Amino acid sequence: MELPDRETCYRALQSRDARFDGLLFVGVTSTGIYCRPVCPARTAKRENVRFFASAAAAQEAGFRPCLRCRPETAPDMASWRGTSNTVSRALALIADGALDADNAGVETLAERLGIGERHLRRLFVQHLGASPVAVAQTRRVLFAKQLIHETQMPMTEVALAAGFGSIRRFNEIFRELFHRPPSALRRRFSTSPELGVTLNLRYRPPYDWDAMLAFLQARAIPGVEVVENGSYLRTIGMDGATGSVQVRHLPERQSLRVTIRFPRAQSLPAIIARVRRVFDLGADIETIDAHLSLDPLLAPFIAQRPGLRAPGGWDGFELAVRAILGQQVTVAAARRLAEQLVVSHGERVESDPRLTHVFPEAQHLAMANSINVGMPAARRSALKALAEAVAADPNLFRPFGTIEEAIARLRTIRGVGEWTAQYIALRALRETDAFPAADIGLLRGAEVVDGARPSVPNLLLRSESWRPWRAYAAQHLWAAGSTYA
């Protein structure tokens, strides 16, 4: 994403314009510090500021994070850098640890994206102003800084959770950046560690929390998920361990408060990445809605629902299973089928009476003699084929190549047709332009919007003007038709 002109950036800094929070960062040459544009500190002179498209670019230029406005708490806009889907996919992989110390480097990352390494580096410099490695390193530092500020985790666990190879390297980097040890950044007013790790994740408003909760509640699998008292809870099964996560809304802080109870500190970044995906925290919803509102018939429906997000899937395999269970049945029926599957094949947990099971893993279903779910044999066969495909390729639901390549790849799985592939791309792969045009709910919503139900080819033709945000147009069509897919 290109930055606005320098004068616009400086006016945003002067007025502390929250619309630019997460979209640009400000380096102050007289102090060597970089800030968010909403920083409450006295505004630096024009000649003493530089503007950057990302925190990584500011840090790579030699600036250190501000301790007052805390750049790590800015809305994470990197995930939607929609002028380059390749960059968005790469950032999702980096968030999953693709460039951590124990993983392969930029060349392998580029291969997974289907492009050359030099081209990937050019795209990162163009859209983020920094190299892939610098982006990964900055994310690591800022996540560690947030854990230090907001939790009482021991420093060794903070280093582990943030992906540092050693506590020594962790201490060295913080001394280089902040001229003090990590422990000196910790707040002193909290005296008793709370149960679990609680962090605030910021978003860019508006955010339709009620619609998000309604979507999740309608699909909540008993024993795995609970929506109650305005919050979302679910079990976690990851890295051979189990735990839970709770998500609440803090509208006054434009944040979600996430409490994670999980025994492995190393898994925290992956869990938080999943929360961001499910709740679509990286979307610049104002930009998306403004684009979709150019369609005069769609505009009134978008005005009725500002902040409507495109909910993601917690896990790619789980979401794909849900999609197959939902073929040609209602949402409520699919939920009952999912409950049967979980009771028969999910691992039982005892930590919370409301949360009794974790969703079954692909390897378990692939090896199961039978899948005891009350649905047609062809669909049970499709579930088996899906589980076997994921067991053979654990990266099946991670970003790879273009959306067309992703759809084609998914459709090679027995029982996965165009609708299912598009739905998986929308929810699991987070493809902003995925569009399951044959969905009956979409067609019903299009009828409400246009006054007549279109054919699938006509709806696809109509959707061309909604690119690259057709996934969000789909949410508005489902809402207009008083249903969600």
DSSP H or E run through 190: none
Residue labelled with tokens 């909290």: 190
CA neighbours within 13 Å on the CB side: how many for 448?
A: 17
Asked about 289 being catalytic, the answer comes back as no
DSSP per-residue string spanning 340-364: HHHHHHSPEEEEETTEEEPPPPHHH
Distance of alpha carbon 70 from alpha carbon 149, whole angstroms? 9
CA 465 to chain centre: 25
Task: State residue 250 phi and psi, 5-degree precision.
Answer: -120, 80
35 as an active site residue: the answer is yes
Closest CA to 235 of 262, 255, 257: 262
Please report which residue ranges of 346-434 form alpha helices under DSSP H.
362-367, 377-392, 403-410, 418-427
CA 414/CA 383 separation, integer angstroms:
9
Would you list the DSSP string of 275-325? HHHHTTTT--HHHHHHHHTTSTTTHHHHHHSTT------SSHHHHHHHHHH
Here the tokens at position 81 are 């850098």
Token representation of residue 244: 């839970």
Q: Of the listed 35, 39, 66, 69, which one is catalytic? A: 35
Round to whole Å and give the CA distance between 109 and 48. 37
- Give me 434's structure tokens: 């995925």
Buried-exposed string 122-136: b where 16+ CB fall within 10 A, e elsewhere: ebbbebbbbbbbbbb
Structure tokens at 97: 């640890």
For residue 49, give the H/E element and its range.
Answer: strand 49-52
Query: Strand 64-65 and strand 49-52: pairing?
Result: unpaired
206 upstream amide cis, omega within 30 of 0 = yes
| Residue of 280, 284, 289, 439 with catalytic role | 439
CB count within 10 Å of CB 412 equals 10
Bridge partners (DSSP) of residue 475 are: none
Q: Which residues pair with 26 in a beta bridge?
A: 35, 51
Copy the structure tokens of residue 390: 């994921």
Quickly count: other Cβ atoms within 10 Å of residue 282's Cβ.
23
Q: How many CA atoms lie within 13 A of 228 on its CB side?
A: 7
Closest CA to 399 of 80, 78, 76, 87: 87
Catalytic residue set? 35, 439
